[in-house]
Amino acid sequence: MYNRIKESFDNQGLMKTFNAQLISVEKGAVRISCHFFEGLTQQHGFFHAGVATSIVDSACGYAALTMMEDNSEVLTVEFKVNFMKPANTDKLVAIGKVLQHGKTLTVCEGYVYDSSEMKLISKMTATMIRIKKMD
Amino acid sequence: MYNRIKESFDNQGLMKTFNAQLISVEKGAVRISCHFFEGLTQQHGFFHAGVATSIVDSACGYAALTMMEDNSEVLTVEFKVNFMKPANTDKLVAIGKVLQHGKTLTVCEGYVYDSSEMKLISKMTATMIRIKKMD
Amino acid sequence: MYNRIKESFDNQGLMKTFNAQLISVEKGAVRISCHFFEGLTQQHGFFHAGVATSIVDSACGYAALTMMEDNSEVLTVEFKVNFMKPANTDKLVAIGKVLQHGKTLTVCEGYVYDSSEMKLISKMTATMIRIKKMD
Amino acid sequence: MYNRIKESFDNQGLMKTFNAQLISVEKGAVRISCHFFEGLTQQHGFFHAGVATSIVDSACGYAALTMMEDNSEVLTVEFKVNFMKPANTDKLVAIGKVLQHGKTLTVCEGYVYDSSEMKLISKMTATMIRIKKMD
């Protein structure tokens, strides 16, 4: 399971640009982290909301994928994110978890923490759709 | 107004990393575009949802800012995005528009189009909060 | 088309409880209204957010249904609502519109106005899923 | 705390119409339930999504209120709900919980279960705003 997701993760140019790391893959839960650098900031010098959102979207998508058959791919239908604390940390840790898995749609919850994993920076709810892999 | 927002935009490291362009600033409406390159992709080689989300979040935030007094800054409280079409285009065009402006909170609608500006790729609704600029 | 939707609307016990009216049905757009009475209030005596949400959810669902084949039914996958103005009016007018229609999923936008239809009280974005009618 | 919220709850005409019950009030968590009757249904004879949404919105609002000073009132800024299972049960149990409490804004998570409290029917994330009570 890790290998299937690691391969897909390595094909995401954006994750390379962010220098993001796939930390762990379990059934129904995926963890991705991203260290701070200047190129990821908003105008106040903290992580841009878009960075937190990108990595937690990927974490939720892959969490959904861990629940599906081998010939599946996943697309984001929609997500909603609440930003609760300023992202002034040297590392973001994003965790995607499956809340409800269905044949077509999977609902995930995503959490973005600071490097201590004590401060919840933002919270996502995402709807993912399964599509059949095109060979 | 353009200058105030251009200055803030230029301080966003992420917009530089994306090589995104601030196209236009009107009262209540801001437009940002972003050309395709490998470093912005998801695993199928199209624009990552996080890129579309980042630029339309910035467009919505700045659209909100155009409605506010000079000593204001804006933070994203939350947003929700629906992804409607694959982002297989050579350029994303994001438009943020103010739907409802209040003293504390401003609600914006964001649209991400392909380079033809005919295909609606994703749609955002965002809640922004005004904060007083710290000098 | 009107008859198919009117029949379904008349089967909604909640719409009867609210004394809500199906005003119009066009391809991709449905309008439902609801007059004020004491039994629909929140603690300040205005329409409860849940009433506005219920009728605009129904309007969006039926708008989606107008785009589908005859043997279809529609379920709400998720929605998001922003509440922008107090609902102190003697009538709510909800309008559901299809933004993007797909084979499985349809994205709708919903608007709730006061009786003058000038004041936008709340704004919904909803994802609807097509299911095959069970006979 | 219970009395303050019970009094407000009793002023909600809609909760009376639904014959909803305020079950419990703790700091940061409020529980409301609602028994099934014909007047609460959608077209398939189950609870309407609007009923689940109304009671969990109230539960989230009151959960936020338990964190605030005595002279406070709470308004819903926005919410997002995912509908995960059909609401074919004889009772809905809604639980609102505070996720993040701030001076102006409070983020809540809402859960709607069936009567067994084992099946998660829908999940809300809501943003609430504190306003000063008008005497």
Could you report the per-residue pLDDT of D80-127, keeping only the tens digit for each?
999 999 999 999 999 999 999 999 999 999 999 999 999 999 999 999
D59 DSSP assignment: H
Of B40, B44, B76, the CB nearest to A49: B76
Averaged pLDDT for residues A36-42: 97
Q: Which two tokens stand for residue A86?
A: 């300023």
Beta bridge pairs of residue A110: A96, A124
Q: Which two tokens stand for residue D129?
A: 């705003």
Pick among D75, D76, D77 to test the B interface (most B CBs inside 10 A): D77
**Cα B131 → chain centroid:** 18
Please, what is the average pLDDT of chain A?
Answer: 96
Q: What residues of chain D lie within 8 A of the CB of A84, using their CB? A: 99-100, 102, 107
Q: What is the pTM of this model?
A: 0.96
Q: What is the pLDDT of residue B135?
A: 59
Q: What is the pLDDT of residue A1?
A: 84
CA distance C80 to chain A (A): 9
Contact D78 B104 (CB under 8 A): no
Q: What is the pLDDT of residue D135?
A: 59
Give which of C119, B22, C44, B91 is closest to D7, Cα–Cα: C44
Contact A82 D125 (CB under 8 A): yes
Q: Give the residue from chain A lying closest to D80, CA to CA.
A: A80
Residue carrying structure tokens 């099934």: D36
Query: Which residues does D129 contact at the CB level (< 8 Å), separation at least 6?
Result: B104, B105, D74, D75, D77, D104, D105, D106
CATH number of the domain at D73, please: 3.10.129.10
What is the helix (H) or strand (E) element at residue A119, kind and residue range? none
CA distance D99 to chain A (A): 9
Based on the structure, what is the number of domains in chain A?
A: 1
Could you tell me if A77 lies within 8 Å of chain D, comparing CB atoms?
no
Averaged pLDDT for residues B7-36: 97
What is each CA distance from B60 to B42, B80, B98, C26, D99, in whole angstroms? 23, 12, 7, 31, 25
Which pLDDT band, with edges at 50, 70 and 90, does A133 fall under? confident
pLDDT of residue B8 exceeding 80: yes
Q: Which domain holds residue C48?
A: 2-132
CA distance C13 to chain A (A): 28
Of A8, A50, A83, the CB nearest to B53: A50
Contact D77 B129 (CB under 8 A): no
Q: Give the residue from chain C lying closest to B120, CA to CA.
A: C100
Q: Give the residue from chain C lying closest to D11, CA to CA.
A: C43
Share of chain C above pLDDT 90, in %: 92
Q: What is the C-alpha to C-alpha distance for residues A34 and C103, in angstroms, rounded to an integer? A: 37
pLDDT of residue C135 exceeding 80: no
Q: Which two tokens stand for residue D30?
A: 């409020």
Per-residue pLDDT tens for B39-66? 999 998 999 999 999 999 999 999 999 9
Pick among A48, A58, A88 to test the B interface (most B CBs inside 10 A): A48
Of C9, C13, C41, the CB nearest to D39: C13
Question: Assign residue B66 a region: left if phi > 0, alpha if psi is -120 to 50, beta otherwise?
Answer: alpha
Query: Which residues does B71 contact at the CB level (< 8 Å), separation at least 6?
Result: B132, B133
Query: Which residues does B121 contact at the CB level (< 8 Å), separation at least 6?
Result: B52, B83, B84, B85, B86, B87, B89, B92, B112, B113, B114
Q: What residues of chain D lie within 8 A of the CB of B105, using their CB? A: 77, 129
Q: What is the C-alpha to C-alpha distance for residues D33 and D10, in angstroms, rounded to an integer? A: 14
Which pLDDT band, with edges at 50, 70 and 90, does B1 fall under? confident
Could you please report the per-residue DSSP string of chain C? -HHHHHHHHHT-HHHHHTT-EEEEEETTEEEEEEE--GGGB-TTSSBPHHHHHHHHHHHHHHHHHTTS-TTEEEEEEEEEEEE-S---SSEEEEEEEEEEE-SSEEEEEEEEE-TTS-SEEEEEEEEEEEEEPP-
Share of chain D above pLDDT 90, in %: 92
Share of chain A above pLDDT 90, in %: 92
Q: What residues of chain C lie within 8 A of the CB of D57, using their CB? A: 49-50, 53
Give the strands of the sheet with B105-113, arranged side by side: A21-26, A29-35, A91-101, A105-113, A120-132, A72-83, B72-83, B120-132, B105-113, B91-101, B29-35, B21-26
Per-residue pLDDT tens for A72-126? 999 999 999 999 999 999 999 999 999 999 999 999 999 999 999 999 999 999 9
pLDDT of residue A134 exceeding 80: no
Averaged pLDDT for residues D42-71: 96
Could you tell me if C14 lies within 8 Å of chain B, comparing CB atoms?
no
Q: How many CB pairs under 8 A join A and B?
A: 109
Could you tell me if B46 lies within 8 Å of chain A, comparing CB atoms?
no
Q: What is the pLDDT of residue B133?
A: 82
Q: Is A65 helix (H, G, I), strand (E, B) or coil?
A: helix
Please, what is the average pLDDT of chain C?
Answer: 96
**What is the amino acid identity at position C51?**
V
Which pLDDT band, with edges at 50, 70 and 90, does C66 fall under? very high
Averaged pLDDT for residues C45-66: 97
Per-residue pLDDT tens for C119-132? 999 999 999 999 98
Q: What residues of chain C lie within 8 A of the CB of B120, using their CB? A: 99-100
Q: What is the pLDDT of residue D1?
A: 84
Q: Are A73 and A131 in contact (CB under 8 A)?
A: yes
Q: Give the residue from chain C lying closest to A80, CA to CA.
A: C80
Q: Are D77 and D129 in contact (CB under 8 A)?
A: yes
Q: Give the residue from chain A lying closest to C105, CA to CA.
A: A77
Give which of B68, B47, B12 is closest to B122, Cα–Cα: B47
Q: What is the C-alpha to C-alpha distance for residues D77 and A33, in angstroms, rounded to an integer? A: 31
Residue C89: CB atoms within 10 Å: 19
Contact C100 B84 (CB under 8 A): yes
Give which of D41, D44, D2 is closest to D18, Cα–Cα: D41
What long-range pairs does A99-102 form, CB within 8 A, spacing at least 24? A99/A125, A99/D82, A99/D84, A99/D120, A99/D123, A100/D82, A100/D84, A100/D85, A100/D120, A101/A28, A101/A64, A101/A67, A102/D84
CA distance A35 to chain C (A): 32
Contact B85 C99 (CB under 8 A): no
Tell me which residues of chain C, numbers 82 to 121, contact chain A at a CB-CB cutoff of 8 Å.
Answer: 104-105
B70 DSSP assignment: T
**What is the amino acid identity at position C10?**
D
Could you tell me if D49 lies within 8 Å of chain C, comparing CB atoms?
yes
B41 DSSP assignment: B
User: Which chains form contacts with chain A, at 3 or more CB pairs under 8 Å?
Assistant: B, C, D
Helix, strand, coil % over all residues of chain B, rounded to 5 = 25, 45, 30
